[in-house]
Amino acid sequence: MANKRSEQYAELIQQHDTQQLVCQNAWVLANIPLIKKTLESFDFTHGKTLIIDGKAISNIDSSGAWQLQKLIYKLQKANIKVQLQNFTKEQELLLKMLQDQTANFKGIPKKKYFNWLYQFGESTFYHLQQVLTFLSFIGEITSVAIKTIHQPRLRPLLSTIEITGFQALPLLALLSFMIGVVIAYQMGLQLLNYGANIYIVDLTGFSIFREFGPLLTAIIVTGRTGSAFTAQLGTMKLNEELDALRTMGISPIELLVLPRILGLIIVMPLLTIWADIFGVIGSMLMAKNMLAINMADFLIRFQQAVTIHSLLVGLCKTPVFAMLIAGIGCFQGMQVSGGADSVGKQTTKSVVQAIFCIIIADALFSVLFSSLKI
Q: What percent of the chain is modeled with pLDDT above 90?
A: 49
What is the secondary structure of 243-295 as a DSSP string?
A: HHHHHTT--HIIIIIHHHHHHHHHHHHHHHHHHHHHHHHHHHHHHHHHH---H
Any domain includes 111: no
Cα–Cα dist 240/49, whole Å: 61
Whether residue 15 is predicted with pLDDT greater than 80 in this model: the reply is no
Q: Count of domains in the chain?
A: 2
Any domain includes 146: no
Say yes or no: 295 and 231 in one domain: yes
Say yes or no: 57 and 200 in one domain: no
Say yes or no: 300 and 161 in one domain: yes
Cα–Cα dist 210/316, whole Å: 10
| Mean pLDDT, rounded, for 162-188 | 93
Q: What percent of the chain is modeled with pLDDT above 70?
A: 95
Mean pLDDT of the chain, nearest integer: 87
Whether residue 55 is predicted with pLDDT greater than 80 in this model: the reply is yes
pLDDT value of residue 106? 59
Say yes or no: 73 and 186 in one domain: no
pLDDT value of residue 103? 57
Give the list of residues 6+ apart from residue 303 with CB closer than 8 angstroms, or none: none
Whether residue 354 is predicted with pLDDT greater than 90 in this model: the reply is yes
Whether residue 38 is predicted with pLDDT greater than 50 in this model: the reply is yes
Whether residue 312 is predicted with pLDDT greater than 50 in this model: the reply is yes
What is the domain extent for residue 301?
Answer: 156-372
| Mean pLDDT, rounded, for 107-118 | 74
Whether residue 131 is predicted with pLDDT greater than 80 in this model: the reply is yes
Say yes or no: 170 and 98 in one domain: no
pLDDT value of residue 5? 43
Report which of 41, 51, 50, 99 is spatially closest to residue 79, judged by C-alpha positions.
50
Candidate from 31-45, 137-151, 176-190, 284-298 with smallest mean pLDDT: 31-45
Helix axes 318-334, 116-148, angle to 10 degrees: 110
The answer to whether the Cα torsion of 359, 343, 228, 230 is positive or negative is: positive
* Secondary element (H or E) of residue 309: helix 308-315
Residue-wise pLDDT for 246-305, tens only, equals: 999 888 999 999 999 999 999 999 999 999 999 999 999 999 998 888 899 999 999 988
More confident residue, 72 or 216: 216
Say yes or no: 86 and 164 in one domain: no
Say yes or no: 186 and 283 in one domain: yes
Any domain includes 125: no
Any domain includes 322: yes
